[in-house]
Structure 1
Amino acid sequence: MFIQTIDDAAATGEIARIYAEEKAALGFVMEGTRCWTARPDLLPLVDHLLNTARTDFSLGLRAWRLITLIAARHIPSTYCSHVYARGLVADLGSKEQVLAIHRDFRNAGLSDRDVAMLAYAEQVAVDASRITQADIDALRAVGFSDRNIADIAFCAAFRCFMSRYFDATGATPEPFFFDEDPGFRAAMTVGKPI
């Protein structure tokens, strides 16, 4: 990490609570969490926003992870690619499927709905200024509501914000998230080397 953050022993109040919850879930505090504590007032806000958005996400955790994987590829964010690929392997049943989606989601056997969702998320991550009414109409044509569309936009845009902050502060993915397969690890290393 490039900046000084609050270590476990010095954590108090909301930061201590967030650290404790993450340790209970993962066994450690992620650098992606710790990096916010150079500004201690920000971590509770970011944590609340992330947890609220993900909990109330109208398309479910699988879609959240898919959108994040595609956005992370284009940001590019090695950290987020590794973290979310790990969850997607469980969601989709194989590393091969995750790799196929990562390489070319348009030709990975996904539904038309998933492809439309990921194409929109990709455009948000690459250049949201080029999104037009036609892009929104295409999402509606495959059954997405305006709430769904807002959620896709939020998820992709939020990932851009989070991932860029991680890289800017020097947060790096923990070895816990690295797959044992060197080819899979290399594919998920889309930005900073690990």
Structure 2
Amino acid sequence: MFLRTIAEDDAIGGVAEIYEKQKSQLGFIMAATQCFTARPDLLPIYTDFSNKIRAGFSLGVREWRLITLVAAKHVPSTYCAYVYSQQLIGDLGSKQAVLAVHRDFRTAGLSDKEVAMLAYAEKIVLNASGIAESDIDGLRSAGFTDQQICDIALCAAFRCFVSRFFDAVGAGPEAAFIDDDAEFRTAMTVGRSY
């Protein structure tokens, strides 16, 4: 971490509560959480915003993770690629399936609806200003509601924001997210090397 942040032993109030909750869930405090404490007033706001986006997400956890992996690849964010690739192994059934999505989601055996979702997410990361109403019409034709389209956009755009912030302040992956498989780890190293 490049910035001075609040250590676990020094946390008080809302920051301490957030730290305690994350530690009870994961066994550690993520750098992605701690980095916001360079502005301690922002961590509770960020956490609340992030939790609300996820709690109201009209698609499944698997879709959140797929969108995030594709977004992380193009940001590019190694940290987020490491975290979400690990989570997707269970969702997709194998590292090979995750690698196939990472290489090219269009040929990875996903459903046409999932491919449409990820193509939209990819376009948001690469060139959101290039999105036209025809892109939205295509998503509707694929079976997405306007709320779901909004959620795809929120998930992809949110990843652009947080991934770039994490890199900008030096937040890096915890050991739990660094895969032992060198080939897998190399594939997910899309930005900064760790």
Partner of 2:155: 155
| Counterpart residue identity of residue 191, structure 1 | G
For residues 44 and 86 of structure 2, the distance between their equivalents in structure 1, rounded to whole angstroms, comes to 25
- With structure 2 as the length reference, what TM-score do the two structures score? 0.99
Structure 1 distance, partners of 2:18, 2:99, is: 32
The amino acid that maps onto 2:177 is F
Deviation at 1:104, TM superposition (A): 0.2
1:44 aligns to what? Answer: 44
The aligned residue for residue 116 of structure 2 is 116
Equivalent in the alignment of 1:103: 103
**Mapped partners of 2:150, 2:13: distance in 1:** 33
Note the alpha carbon deviations across 1:49-94, whole angstroms, 9 max, x for none: 1111112100011000000000000000001000011110011110
Residue type of the alignment partner of 1:35: C
Aligned AA (2:72):
A
Following superposition, the deviation at residue 153 of structure 1 comes to: 0.2
Letter paired with 1:130: G
Residue 94, structure 1, aligned to residue 94, structure 2: yes
Cα RMSD (Å): 0.5
**TM-score, length of structure 1 as denominator length:** 0.99
Q: Which runs of 5+ in 1 are unaligned?
A: none
* Matched residues, number: 194
Q: Deviations over 1:133-178 (max 9, x none)?
A: 1110110001000000000000000000000000000000111101
Match of 2:65 in 1: 65
Q: Where do 5+ consecutive residues of structure 2 fail to align?
A: none
Q: Which amino acid aligns with 2:17?
A: R
CA distance in 1, matches of 2:21, 2:90: 22
Give the Å deviation of 1:41.
0.6
1:167-178 → structure 2 map (5 Å cutoff): 167-178=167-178
| Structure 2 Cα separation of the partners of residues 180 and 170 of structure 1 | 22
> How many percent identity over aligned positions?
59
Question: What SS does the aligned partner of 2:161 have?
Answer: helix
